[in-house]
Each structure stands twice: as structure tokens, then as C-alpha cells.
Amino acid sequence: MTDSLALAEFAYGLPKAELHLHLEGTLEPELKFELAARNGIELAEKTFEEVKATYNFTDLTSFLAVYYPAMQVLQTADDFHDLAWAYLLRAKEQGVVHAEMFFDPQAHTSRGVPFENVITGYHRAAVRAGDELGISAELILCFLRDFSAEDAAATLESALPYKDWIIGVGLDSDERDNPPSKFSEVFARARAEGFRLTMHCDIDQVGSIDNIRAVLTDIRVERIDHGTNIVEDPELVAIAKERGLGFTCCPVSNSFVTEQMKADEIVSLLRAGLRVMINSDDPAYFGAYVGDNYVALAEQAGLSETDLVQFAINSFEASWLTPEQKAAFVERVGEYAGSRGVALPV
Ligand code: ADE
Ligand code: ZN
């Protein structure tokens, strides 16, 4: 076995949490065709190759222009269940033992699908993952930042009856001209209702650093999704380190919406002792699930097995599990590394 094969095998088996995963971004073409047939929807693309040919993204905006229209096939609670369940089966193969999964209710309610269909379908899959796969799975409701603050507030209200099924709220979609301050009120309300808070600060946006500063100092989230532009500002890096803020990095996604994985930035934050970890973002579109992302970054940046262990430990430390659950998962990572003769990070 070559060293890179050994590293890949180690990476896939490593117990890990996935904290940055859009359920709607796990819609593989095969399931898209199946759901379209089930719901009597005529798709413009008739073959797998035709669907894949539309995946020519150069930035976040061009990705989102493909991502949203594909969701039309999702209609019933069963559809949402089947989408999440297909992801969880793949996550299991990639070593995921805990997942905190984003969903975009406004992408569905805005086309007439009831919130109830979305949440009951996703929740059913999350419960089933615990029972049948040994994966603890949680849901994070993301507001679409290119919709109004009022729409976000109304979405939060419709989520309140399902509060026990949703661990936190996030913010995604197009960051351009949609800064965090637009949502400070709705995030304050979500915090008061007991939701945990995270927010996307996408890569190389106009005003990236200002947005990261606002998220850290005004909104005061517990994690930042992407956020690696923080390397440009040592003062913000120091604040994030002191607070143990999690950074949910997605290297393969970065290579689609910018010209590179941002490996140097991710590794520099790792070496600086920040709580960075690796995730997949929209794996059906970027062709890489979370274990694939560990391998891709390790190969690109020449990382060791011990570095991957640090990412896995960070994934649990930055999760919204209880301290006891975190400690148990971190111990499991240590046992896995020890059983394969891999040194633990110091
Ligand atoms: N929605 C799905 N993936 C996203 C990403 N990477 N950034 C912003 N919004 C998204
Ligand atoms: Zn994302």
C-alpha cells in the first residue's frame, strides 16, 4: 500500500463530525430524476451527463444559480426524508458519527411547499440516523441572506413550533450586498429562543473582513462557516482563538467558487491553534463528501495523519454536543489513532 492510500484509508475511517453540510446540496442527479418522476416534474436535463454539464461554477453566484432551480423536485415530506437519508448513508461511509446539517426552508416555502413538509421529512431522517446508523444528527435552519430580514423573521416564527427539532440557526446564500448586520435582530431573537448561532462568511467576498468582524463583535456567533479570510487580520485571529470559535472549512467547495482550495489559509489557521475543521458544503455539486475533503486537503497541503486527527478533534469540540458527548467522541478519535499507531496532536 502506498503512503497516500494509507492516508486516505485512515481519513475515511477517522470518526468525525460534519458541521457544514447543506442538505439541499446533497441532491445527486440520480435522486433528482427519481423525485422528478415521482412528482410528475419535467426536467430540462434528461441524462446524468446533461445535469453534470450544468455544473460549471466560477463563483458563489453561478453555483447558486444552478443550486436553487434543482430544488423544484423536492415537494413532500417523503422527498425531504429521502434526500437527507441518502446523505446520511453516504456520511456513514465517510466516517461521520455526528452531523449538524443545514437546511434552507425559504428555498421551499417561497415556491409554495409548506414548512411542515420540509421539517417533518428532515427530522424523520435525523431520528432514523440515530436509530439505524449510529449517527447523531441535528438540523440547523439557515436564513437566505438575499431575502429580506422580515422574511427571515417570519421563517423563524414558523420554526418555533418545531424548536425541539432544530438545534440552531445559520445564514447562507449570496453574501454580496447582504451583510450580517441585516440580520442582527433576527439572530438576537433566535438566541433568546435558545437556538445556537452560526453564519456563513464566504470566501473572498467584497467586504469579507468587515463581515467577519461584525459576526464576531456584533452578532457574536459560536461558529463561522468558511471564514478563512480572517487570516488577513491578526487581531481578529486573536479574538477567534481566545473564544475557541469554530471555522467550518470546505476545501473542495472553495476550489469551485474561487480558483483554489485555500489550503494555505486553512493550514495557517490550524497551525495558529484555531478550531478549524473540514466539511463538504454541497457534496453532490462539488463531487466530494467529507472524507474526500480530508483526503483532498491532505494531498494538496502535504498534511500528516496527526493533522487529520486534529481536524476530527476540532469537529467535535466546535459542535453543539454536550461537554460529555464531546469528550466521549474525542476519546473515540484517540482510540482510533492509537490503534493505527498515529501520534496524537500535542
Ligand atoms: N448555500 C449552499 N451552499 C452555500 C455556500 N457555500 N455559501 C452560501 N450559501 C450556500
Ligand atoms: Zn455553505
281 CA to middle of ligand 2, Å? 5
Report how far residue 342's alpha carbon sits from residue 220's, in angstroms, rounded to the nearest whole number: 36
Q: Going by CA atoms, what residue is nearest to atom 6 of ligand 1?
A: 281
Q: Three-state SS for 17?
A: strand
255-303: pLDDT as tens digits: 999 999 999 999 999 999 999 999 999 999 999 999 999 999 999 999 9
Q: How many other β-carbons are positioned within 10 Å of the β-carbon of residue 76?
A: 17
CB of 225 shorter than 6 A to ligand 1: no
pLDDT confidence band for 2 (50 / 70 / 90): low
42-81: pLDDT as tens digits: 999 999 999 999 999 999 999 999 999 999 999 999 999 9
Residue range(s) defining the domain that contains residue 326: 3-339
CB of 202 shorter than 6 A to ligand 1: yes
Residue-level pLDDT at 1:
46
Has residue 55 been placed in a domain?
yes
Q: Name the closest ligand to CA 24.
A: 1
8-37: pLDDT as tens digits: 999 999 999 999 999 999 999 999 999 999
Has residue 185 been placed in a domain?
yes
Cβ(107)–Cβ(74) below 8 Å = no
Has residue 226 been placed in a domain?
yes
Has residue 344 been placed in a domain?
no
CB of 24 shorter than 6 A to ligand 1: no
R_g of the chain computed on alpha carbons: 19
Q: What are the beta bridge partners of residue 171?
A: 143
**Residues 188-216: what's their mean pLDDT?**
97
Say how many domains are in the chain: 1
Q: Is 123 exposed, middle or buried (0-12, 13-18, 19+ CB in 10 A)?
A: buried
Residue-level pLDDT at 3:
85
Has residue 345 been placed in a domain?
no
pTM, full prediction: 0.98
172 CA to middle of ligand 1, Å? 5
Percentage of the chain beyond pLDDT 70 is 99
Has residue 346 been placed in a domain?
no
Q: Going by CA atoms, what residue is nearest to atom 10 of ligand 1?
A: 173
pLDDT confidence band for 193 (50 / 70 / 90): very high
* Triad 120, 123, 127: Cα angle to 5°: 135
Helix (H) or strand (E) holding 312: helix 305-317
Is a pLDDT exceeding 90 seen at residue 4?
no
CATH code of residue 101:
3.20.20.140
68's CB contacts (< 8 A; 6+ apart) are 107
**Ligand 1 test: best mutation among 19, 22, 144, 211, most atoms within 8 Å of CB?**
22
